[in-house]
Amino acid sequence: MRQFVLSDFDFHLPEALIAQQPLSSRTDSRLLDGTQENPKDRIFKELPDLLQTNDLLIMNDTEVVKARLFGNKPSGGRLELLVERVLENNHVVGHLRVSKKPSIGSIMNMDGGYFAEFLGRESIETGGLFRFRLFDKQDSNPYQLMAAHGHIPLPPYIERSDNEADLQRYQTVFAKKPGAVAAPTAALHFDEALLETIKAKGVKTAAVTLHVGAGTFMPVKSESIQEHTMHAERYWVPLETQQAIADCKAKGGRVVAVGTTTVRTLESWAQSGQDSGDTQIFITPGFDFKIVDVLITNFHLPKSTLLMLVSAFTGYEKMMALYRHAISQQYRFFSYGDAMILKRQPLE
C-alpha cells in the first residue's frame, strides 16, 4: 500500500472560498454528492433523497461553550485563555495567549469581574496545556462563568470577532451536552424541519458525544504523518445508540455519520471496546472502518488530519478529485461552508 506523506494532502485554496459568515438558512448550503462515480452538485435540503429507509443517522450532540476568555495579568498585560476542558474544583486547562507567562499563584483579573488563578502548566505528554482555577465572589462554576463572560471560539480562519448571530449559528440544533470548543460543523446544515423530513422517510436517528477540542485546528508539522500525535478528546457512545447500530446492521441498513467527530467516536469505540473515554484515534488511508458506511462532512483544511480521514474513508484519489471539483465550482469551505456526502470505499 502507498505510504502517504503530508504534502500529499496539500492543495491550493483561493482565500475567497473560505466562508466567513453562515448562510441565512442552514439547509441552503450546497451538498457535493460524492457517492457516485461522478460528482453531482446538490443543495443540502436534498439530503433526504440520498438516504434509505433502513439507514441510521448518527449525530454528535456536543454543545459549544463560550470558551474564549479575556483578562489582565496583575501587571496589566492582556491575556486570552481558550478553555479546553473543565476539571474538578473549578480547575480548567486550556491554551494561553500572553506576551509573558504569569507566575504560579498569580491572580488574573478577567473581563466581567471574575478571577483566574494561574496554577502552572501540564506535562507535554498530556498536551502541555495551562491550568487555571476560575472563581468569583458568588461561587460560580466555570461553565457559569464562561456562559456569562466568554466568547464563542470561532476557528482561526474566520477573520472577525464573534457576534450575536454566532451564538445560534455556530451551534447545532440538537446540541445538548456542553463541552466543545469547536462545532461539529457538518451538523450545522441541519434544521428541525429537515430532521423531521428525514425521520418521516423511516430513517432512524441516534446520538454520540465527542467534545471537540481546539487541537482539531493544530497543524501536522512532520512530513511523515506517522510521527504526528493526535490531541485527546472525550467521547461517549450511549447504550441506546449501540443498540440502534446493531438493529441497523441486522436489517441491512447503513450507518450514516454526520461529521468526522462522529466517525472518530464510533471507530474509537469499535477499536477499543470502550463506550466512553479519551480518544486520540488518527485515521489515515489504509484504516479499516468497522461501523460507518456513509459520511456527511464539510470541506477541510489542506494538510489536516481531517482531510486524511476523509481520504481514508472514500479513497485518496477520489477525495482529491472531489476537492478539485469543489474549488472549480466555488463551493464554500470550512466551518461555515458547504458540505459533501461520501460512501466508504472497501479496504483493499
pLDDT tens, 87-115? 999 999 999 999 999 999 999 999 999 99
Looking at the structure of the chain, the number of domains it has is 2
List pLDDT tens digits, range 286-300: 999 999 999 999 999
CATH of the domain at 140: 2.40.10
Q: Over the range 315-348, which residues count as b (16 or more CB within 10 Å of their CB) and which as e? A: bbebbeebbebbbeeebbbbbbbbbbbbbbbeee
143 and 173 together in one domain:
no
* Residue 252 is assigned to a structural domain of this protein: yes
25 and 103 together in one domain:
no
Question: Model-level pTM?
Answer: 0.94
81 and 32 together in one domain:
no
CATH of the domain at 299: 3.40.1780.10
List pLDDT tens digits, range 151-183: 999 999 999 999 999 999 999 999 999 999 999
When comparing pLDDT for 128 and 213, which is higher? 213
Please give the pLDDT value at position 322: 98
124 and 231 together in one domain:
no
For the cut 90, the answer to whether the pLDDT of residue 128 exceeds it is: no
For the cut 70, the answer to whether the pLDDT of residue 124 exceeds it is: no
Query: What cell was used for 182?
Result: 469547536
Instruction: Assign 125 a pLDDT band (cuts: 50, 70, 90).
Output: low
48 and 174 together in one domain:
yes
For the cut 70, the answer to whether the pLDDT of residue 303 exceeds it is: yes
* Residue 48 is assigned to a structural domain of this protein: yes
* Residue 159 is assigned to a structural domain of this protein: no
Residue 152 near residue 68 (C-beta atoms within 8 A): yes
* Residue 156 is assigned to a structural domain of this protein: no
What is the percent of the chain with per-residue pLDDT over 90, rounded to a whole number?
93
40 and 74 together in one domain:
no
138 and 182 together in one domain:
no
Domain extent for 316 = 6-64+165-343
